Amino acid sequence: MGIEFTKYHGLGNDFILIDNRSSSEPKVTPEQAVKFCDRHFGIGADGVIFAMPGQDGTDYTMRIFNSDGSEPEMCGNGIRCLGKFLADLEGKSTQETQYRIHTLAGVMTPHIKPDGKVTVDMGMPGLLAEEIPTTLGAPNEKVIAQPLEVADATWLVTCVSMGNPHCITFVEDVAAIPLEKIGPQFEHHPVFPKRTNTEFIQVVRPDYLKMRVWERGAGITLACGTGACATVVAGVLTGKSDRIATVELPGGCLEIEWSEIDQRVYMTGPAERVFAGQI
């Protein structure tokens, strides 16, 4: 029997969405997810996302398997795509609507707008080493502009958790970074016991940042929502960024705000349906 799916993308970060509301267990195994995500022999995607029944008073639950079969705590572009998917399933795609979604990183609240953009309250960032987690600093201390040896070079890195781990480093020219070579070395560095996403950032202006990303479990992607959020937080912590900034990724731009009022991070960007099918 085939499995029905719908393909969505957020700035080119693409996902296979599966209506899993009838079961609290994913319809697809991690091994099947790897095959589905294969761009030559499968559907092709950065991950498989399941819309599942809510927990603890939430509307729905989000589970996601990366293209390597691992399960991350959260995905920023993915949560926008899930919100749009749910609105499409419920016939609300042209209405303003909001969902409370349970994730392994806590409750996320995507707000779907009639223009197709989605704003998500991403919660408060984790700033302590034990929250990332990383051994770059003492467990109860922040990791800001700390030296890290990778690929025979010293990088100044700032670590932020958006429910998943991020290592951010600021560079002069983001286009010159050999991402395929050094991305895996950051991801699997022993100072990150749960591995890490890594963002390389060029500051164009304090309110405009260019970003390239190596995602944990997915490699090079065109966009990373949690990474863009972590980048603005790191930019504020290092004095390089405003609290409200545009983050330009290879797939397009996200608008990020780290609110001074409630200390929560808000992400706004598109989520677009590509096609539906059965596999």
Q: What is the third-level CATH fold of 4-123+270-278?
A: Diaminopimelate Epimerase; Chain A, domain 1 (3.10.310)
Is 167 among the residues known to form the active site? no
Sketch the domain layout of the chain as residue ranges: 4-123+270-278, 129-263
Is 159 among the residues known to form the active site? no
Q: Which CA distances in Å does 118 have to 11, 27, 66, 115?
A: 12, 26, 22, 9
Catalytic residue among 159, 167, 224, 253: 224
Catalytic residue among 75, 81, 167, 253: 75
One fold for both 4-123+270-278 and 129-263?
yes
Residue type for position 197? N
Q: What is the third-level CATH fold of 129-263?
A: Diaminopimelate Epimerase; Chain A, domain 1 (3.10.310)
In order along the chain (279 residues), what is the average pLDDT of each group of 10 residues? 94 97 96 97 97 97 97 95 96 90 95 92 97 97 98 97 97 97 98 98 98 97 96 98 98 98 97 96
The pTM is what?
0.93
> Residue 80 in 3-state DSSP?
helix
pLDDT, position 236? 98
CA angle 37, 40, 46 (to 5 degrees): 25
